[in-house]
Homo-oligomer: A and B are copies of this chain.
């Protein structure tokens, strides 16, 4: 799977957007079977979200996009209308700020659990996936009580220090159900001219770790 981070393209203005179009066109041509994720964290009122959906699902032809839940149902449903596309809802993120709001109690649930729970009622919610940070692996057991079958995108292994073993222990279901992501751990493996080889090495290492766990599974 490939997960371009849209901010790093936008920061370069028009040239950045051009590079983004080239990147996704290249991925869709060279690796048509690989799942692509626009890491964009979008979300707005309905008529606006439908434009973001068009941008990433039609114009750029990504398989999925990350979205923020704060504005609720009508901010996400326009993304869910697309068949064969996945909308990846932020639930429990891997950063420190996650504790500002996401883990606050609303009745007997934390906000992130409420986010997941309510989202199950949205139209075409079968197209939803969820972000659960690897840095909070123990929470995955609670997540699996609410959505045993959903696919989870798990960032935070690598630079952010999350443990792959713990993520698998608490988060796997009988379809595996996990897409574990290391970004900076691979991308920034080397600042030298050997950056590509160093990144490939890091990716292979993680691949081997994953394989070991899956064999015992």
Contacts and interface: CB of A to CB of B under 8 A. Distances in A.
A8 interface: yes
A21 B14 contact: yes
Contact of A51 (B11, B111, B114): B11
A113 to B, nearest CB: 11
Nearest to A59: B13
A41 interface: yes
Interface in A83-106: 90, 93-102, 104-106
Given A8-B51, A97-B74, A44 B45 contact: no
Interface stretch (A63-71, A173-181, A197-205): A63-71
Copies of this chain, tallied across the complex: 2
B72 A70 contact: no
A100 B106 CA distance: 12
A156 to B, nearest CB: 9
Contacts of A102: 70-72
Contact of A72 (B10, B11, B69, B98): B98
A71 B97 contact: yes
B73 A70 contact: no
